[in-house]
Structure formats: structure tokens, C-alpha cells
Amino acid sequence: MIKLFIFGDIGNYDKELYTLVKMTKNRTCEQYKVIILGDNFYPLGVLNIEDQQWKSYQTFFNGFDKNHIHSILGNHDYMKNPICQIQNNYWNVPDLFYKVNLTDEVDLYFLDTVQLYPGHCGITRELIENIHKKDIKELINNQISWFLRELEKDKNKRKIVFGHYPVISNGAYSHMMNPFASILLPIFQKYNVDAYIAGHEHNVQYLTRNYNNYIFRQFINGSSSQIRTHEFINKDAFYKHKDMYDNANNYMIELLVDKNLIKINYVSKDNEIKYSYNI
């Protein structure tokens, strides 16, 4: 069995995150990975590889093999120098978007969703283009072309995709994600992606939707550090679809892979499995 421990929006490095990470160290097994869903450093990302905030990260995640830690970028990470979070000695993040062959049956995909949705949360097209020295259309095309090529290779494998931005939500961003969803949902449907796991919302959610006989499953965890009890909840969609929504505790996701079985547990900072799903 392989265990994935998934943390979202960790950038405050507060006592709640410390509790979750310490608890997780007691749940590890021989084969494990730690996955961080972006917004790795609040409020403005990191300036460079010597930025003092890396010391907080090292203190919290000390004891995990850095080769087993994978991350992606969030909107806050784009505010200073996101490139310094790539190809460094703190974790195993080879590129802005990349794939990990987990087993013979399961592949993991990591996306740079900030590139795919310019303008969201104040991360403008101009800012993204200045960072990467490329036109936004070229950046989006390069990432989507890579994604399609890799998915084409893996038609018979199970696929789990990670990104910072959710495709749909019942939270604060529920009315903002349609342009982003229009890019990814047709791809997920065509290649029968098993699960999409995101952060960005400072709560946990589980949402399923049926799109032309494709069951889209999305797991959100942006509450590994700060939770936001005051934020908007789209109650109409929440009740209509009987979705899970919890902003009352801090969570990490424990994802278990055993051959073709994938199980997802939401584990609270109280070390309680509050929600559990098989996909």
C-alpha cells in the first residue's frame, strides 16, 4: 500500500498545521508521498531560495524525505518569485507542471492552475508573462498540450490530478470558476480522470457531478493551516447536490492506493477520520 498525505494552503505555518504534520509523521508507511497544494508561503510567496520562510517549511516538514515531497504553485506563490520553488533542494518539484508514475495502475498529474486562469485573484496576465517571459496563450497551450500527450499515454491507467484552483466549488469562489472549468472539464471527461484534488478554498469539500455519463469527483482541502468560517457558502448547490462542506476544523487528506483501489480520508487535526470515500 502507498499513502499520500495531502496538505492545502499551508503558508501560515501555524500551530494547526504543525499539529497536522506531526500527526501525519505517525501515519507514514514504507511507501508514502507528501503533496502540497499551493499557497505554500503567505502572504506574498518567497523572494528567493534564501528567503527566511523556507526555514519555517524546513522546521515543519523535517523528518520527511525531500524526494517524497511534491508541490504545486498557488496564486500567493506567484506574487514574488514562483520560479525559485522549482528545482531546488527543499522538495521534489521538477517543473511548474509534471507527472509522477505512482504505480503500474495509477499516475499522478500536477498542474500550474495559475497559468491556466490569468486574472483570477489579482494574478494578472501581465504578471504571469513577466515571470515566464512568454505570452499567456503560449504558456496555456504548452501546458495543455503536455497534459494531453501524457494522458494519451495513460489511457488504461487510473489518473489523479492535483491543482491549486478548484474546478467547481460551493465556497467563496463558487461563482468565479467557470472559465477555468471550461478548460479542464472536457479533458477530464475525455480521459476519464478519476479524481481532481485542489486547495484555494479555506475549508474542505467533496463534490461530484455527472457530465454526459462522466462522474467528476473533486476533493478540496485548503484548510491545513487557516480555516475561514465567515466565507460565503453556495447553499443552493450544496443542498441540491448533497455535497460535503466543512469549515469547522483543519484537515489533511490521506489517500491510500492499493493496486486499483483508491481510498480518500479527510483526517482532522484531532486525528479523526471525519469523511472517507472510495473511488
**Sign of the CA dihedral with 236 first, then 75, 263, and 99 last:** positive
Amino acid, res. 40: N
Given this model, what pLDDT does residue 111 score? 98
Q: How many domains does the chain have?
A: 1
Q: Which residue has the cell 450544496?
A: 238
Given this model, what pLDDT does residue 29 score? 83
pTM assigned to the model? 0.96
pLDDT means per 10 residues in the chain (279 residues)? 97 97 89 97 97 97 96 98 97 98 96 98 98 98 98 93 97 94 97 98 96 96 92 77 92 93 96 96
Q: What is the torsion angle, in degrees rounded to the nearest 10, for the CA atoms of residue 66, residue 72, residue 76 and residue 79?
A: 90
Distances (CA, A) of 201 to 52, 173, 197, 269: 26, 7, 12, 18
Residue span of the structural domain in which 117 resides: 2-278
Given this model, what pLDDT does residue 233 score? 81
Looking at the DSSP bridge assignments, the partners of residue 34 are: 5, 69
Given this model, what pLDDT does residue 210 score? 94
Strand 251-258: give its sheet, edge to edge.
69-71, 32-36, 2-7, 251-258, 261-268, 273-278
Given this model, what pLDDT does residue 234 score? 79
Within the chain, what is the greatest distance between any pair of CA atoms?
Answer: 49
Given this model, what pLDDT does residue 181 score? 97
Given this model, what pLDDT does residue 214 score? 96
Cell of 220: 478540496
Given this model, what pLDDT does residue 230 score? 81
**Three-state SS at 60:** helix
Distance between CA atoms of residues 224 and 13, nearest Å: 9
| Residue 199 belongs to domain with CATH number | 3.60.21.10
Distance between CA atoms of residues 231 and 142, nearest Å: 35
Given this model, what pLDDT does residue 160 score? 98
